[in-house]
Structure 1
């Protein structure tokens, strides 16, 4: 059965308008396209769409400007934001403005069509209450533009206007506390305290006293009544880090506090009402701990209302150089010498497996900012700073290998060229390199031409023509299941 509904697609890239428009028309939707804010405004009146899909960067301004006013006039309209500015800031701005969905570029076409279907089937989600405007977006602690981080950004944006419990999952060093800080500092409790507590860093016998407070004389050394972390976080956010290391007896009392919203100090008899948002984090496999009777299942369900899974750095390698330069810039802002990365150093950073994740990368950049005498950080410097077993002595960066291959190819072809002076070496080289590059790129994105074109930095129409010229079939370049 064909879908029904009117869709307005706004993007200054004609290829995106054509591809998205055709995909939606095949679903049965009525579609019109625009390339600017001015054209968008005119079609909103004359076409009266049910869903607006709009880019952020448009020729005549910011595509997010005016969205709130549009929704005031047309509260039934669902808005889907597209953006190549894949930052947490953009995701939050889109949510604040009342967008139904935010999709980073390069986006998956199937995901976009599903978002349109959801928007039309939801009866409208954009008129729900959004977070207050004017949130402090500068200096956000999270950095990354990989698809995995985009999903993290979207989830954060969706939980800012509510107080649901959140469980942040990820390996040590992935930035779980940064996620908690971002949710607090951007959410509706940002004017109240953010109180972190690390369960793994506190002796088992003192965890309850730290969390719930204690009365004078409750135990040796308790010389005065002391408020616990729950009371200290009153009205704000309590971050329970390494929750998987919490003793079972403390878990039982924590569950009781979460259910009742009241805290009783150790050695006390009166309860104190507390109003805090709970964000927990762990690098442990909690379902496995539940199986082993080391973690309460009911507490797990209480904490895991909204899970946020942080990827390991090796799973978001496209963010490594962005993060490294971010840490070097921050080090310079803190008074350390300003450093930059050489191309071979950048390739080596991408090749390393980062067992310590983002924290390891941050520490390495800070160390090199202090200790390296040169302004440029090279691969040789990194070899001396990273574990030897992780960086083979004969390692050659991919850029070096490609350069060597091109150099040898050119020497051979130039030798031939002495007897064949009319050869076009430039086109000959492209005919060798481009098909391989296109094949590998398309295979990495399961044949998705929009994502491949984004990774290659070329227009999709150009990619399509190149594939035809080289006789490549994108349907045959999908990764085998």
Structure 2
């Protein structure tokens, strides 16, 4: 969508001159002969900038400025006048005008001012996007076959604007996949806005997505832009889309079909150009059967289905992921963390029901609580390293880890049988007393 500018000027020669000059710069420019007509144009469409004379019949420039700040807060307003003074300029700037120009003015200077304001506007939107995504940009790590398939699919769909539905278990990295799709696409330098549909109450979600007009509901003291408007020209991620209420699903379907939104309390459609990505851990086919998700919306979202594999389906990636997270936490603490062979084997054998998020959380905990940077088997949580009463023949544990669990269990039983007598326990185990002491130290076992 091209930059849209509205020129409100009652003097015909000035209006035509300014409009023709701005159009020559490649911008889409509309014209209005007075403030009232200009306000109607703004209420019907979306403009990046309004260039208005101050003295006009009907609605003058200063009143138009106040109206624009209420109904289109993202639109910048530049006021022009042949009767200006310092006090008038200061008042206009205090009321929210982006600039103030005295007539007659140089058209090249006008172009410079307009371009500067548009650049500042783009930076503001970019800052919102970066703040929204802060901490979310992490690489997709993995050389396993499922990950290679996923990465190949991402590279294919980044060159399109088609809607994608990203599905996978909780903790698999669906948000990272969505970010990768955006930042490798042709919209990479445009806004990337995320909305967690599960974190916002249903009655507030509509306003969050589509914005609201002043007075639309109690507490709506000013017009507020929604996430879709903030994401214009870029990408929006609707995370946990399965949690969206049915009444909003209908409105989202219309947005996808018509490429326009309506603010809460508004009566004019606002055109948008946004790529929509959705993510969910739910089985939407099952939700359709339950009547909690619309079938027509499901098929509209699933133009490109993307499935993120669970960590247990790509165990080959656990070592690389572990190294990455340990390096990340090590930089924060000024240390170099490593895993012992036994600890790495135990991690590789654990099923990780919480997927990559669980692995990351476990490693962060270890970097805080482990007594030394070289992490040993006994530093791991008991559910990973195994414990008494746990079977070592589950098929879910690595051989080295299984041997370590069995050794630890035998030593504990021998010490218990001999009431902590190491010499007697070593004889039962068939090893030397020194060997027993070394293994007790390795596994953190005390005689008592």
| TM-score, normalised relative to structure 2 | 0.56
Cα distance, 1:390 vs structure 2: 11
Q: Which residue of 1 aligns with 2:173?
A: 175
Does the 8 Å contact 2:191/2:232 carry over to 1?
yes
Q: Residues 403 and 288 (structure 1 numbering): CA distance in 2 closer, same or farther, change over 3 Å?
A: closer
From 206, 218, 239, the counterpart of 2:204 = 206
Cα distance, 1:350 vs structure 2: 1.2
Secondary structure of the corresponding residue to residue 148 of structure 2: helix
CA distance in 1, matches of 2:151, 2:388: 31
1:18-42, Cα deviation, whole Å (9 max, x unpaired): xxxxxxxxxxxxxxxxxxxxxxxxx
Cα distance, 1:194 vs structure 2: 0.7
Q: Residues 392 and 325 (structure 1 numbering): CA distance in 2 closer, same or farther, change over 3 Å?
A: farther
CA distance in 2, matches of 1:311, 1:188: 26
Please list every run of 5 or more consecutive structure 1 residues that lacks an aligned counterpart in the other structure.
1-138, 406-481
Cα distance, 1:273 vs structure 2: 0.7
Q: Residues 175 and 401 (structure 1 numbering): CA distance in 2 closer, same or farther, change over 3 Å?
A: closer
Does the 8 Å contact 2:198/2:240 carry over to 1?
yes
RMSD, aligned α-carbons: 2.5
CA distance in 1, matches of 2:367, 2:405: 31
CA distance in 1, matches of 2:218, 2:150: 44
From 158, 161, 164, the counterpart of 1:163 = 161
Q: Which residue of 1 aligns with 2:309?
A: 311
CA distance in 1, matches of 2:320, 2:388: 21
From 359, 362, 378, the counterpart of 2:360 = 362
Q: Which residue of 1 aligns with 2:190?
A: 192
Does the 8 Å contact 1:165/1:278 carry over to 2?
yes
Cα distance, 1:334 vs structure 2: 2.9
Q: Which residue of 1 aligns with 2:371?
A: 373
Secondary structure of the corresponding residue to residue 257 of structure 1: helix
Q: Which residue of 1 aligns with 2:22?
A: none
Q: Residues 401 and 286 (structure 1 numbering): CA distance in 2 closer, same or farther, change over 3 Å?
A: closer
1:336-379, Cα deviation, whole Å (9 max, x unpaired): 52210111011110111111110111111112112212111111
Equivalences for 1:13-412 in 2 at 5 Å?
A: 141-384=139-382, 392=390, 397-399=398-400
Does the 8 Å contact 2:342/2:404 carry over to 1?
no
User: How many residues end up aligned between the 2 structures?
Assistant: 267
Q: Residues 336 and 362 (structure 1 numbering): CA distance in 2 closer, same or farther, change over 3 Å?
A: farther
CA distance in 2, matches of 1:384, 1:403: 13
Q: Residues 279 and 401 (structure 1 numbering): CA distance in 2 closer, same or farther, change over 3 Å?
A: closer
Q: Residues 281 and 404 (structure 1 numbering): CA distance in 2 closer, same or farther, change over 3 Å?
A: closer
CA distance in 2, matches of 1:240, 1:254: 11
| TM-score, normalised relative to structure 1 | 0.53
Q: Residues 315 and 390 (structure 1 numbering): CA distance in 2 closer, same or farther, change over 3 Å?
A: farther
Q: Residues 364 and 225 (structure 1 numbering): CA distance in 2 closer, same or farther, change over 3 Å?
A: same
Does the 8 Å contact 1:383/1:391 carry over to 2?
no
Cα distance, 1:400 vs structure 2: 5.9
Does the 8 Å contact 1:339/1:375 carry over to 2?
yes
- Which one has the largest radius of gyration? 2
Cα distance, 1:335 vs structure 2: 3.6
Does the 8 Å contact 2:167/2:280 carry over to 1?
yes
Secondary structure of the corresponding residue to residue 172 of structure 1: coil
Q: Residues 390 and 194 (structure 1 numbering): CA distance in 2 closer, same or farther, change over 3 Å?
A: farther
Secondary structure of the corresponding residue to residue 374 of structure 1: coil
Does the 8 Å contact 1:231/1:274 carry over to 2?
yes
Does the 8 Å contact 2:392/2:405 carry over to 1?
no
Secondary structure of the corresponding residue to residue 252 of structure 1: helix
CA distance in 1, matches of 2:206, 2:405: 62
Does the 8 Å contact 1:173/1:357 carry over to 2?
yes
CA distance in 1, matches of 2:302, 2:212: 28
Cα distance, 1:307 vs structure 2: 0.8
Q: Which residue of 2 aligns with 1:23?
A: none
Secondary structure of the corresponding residue to residue 177 of structure 2: helix
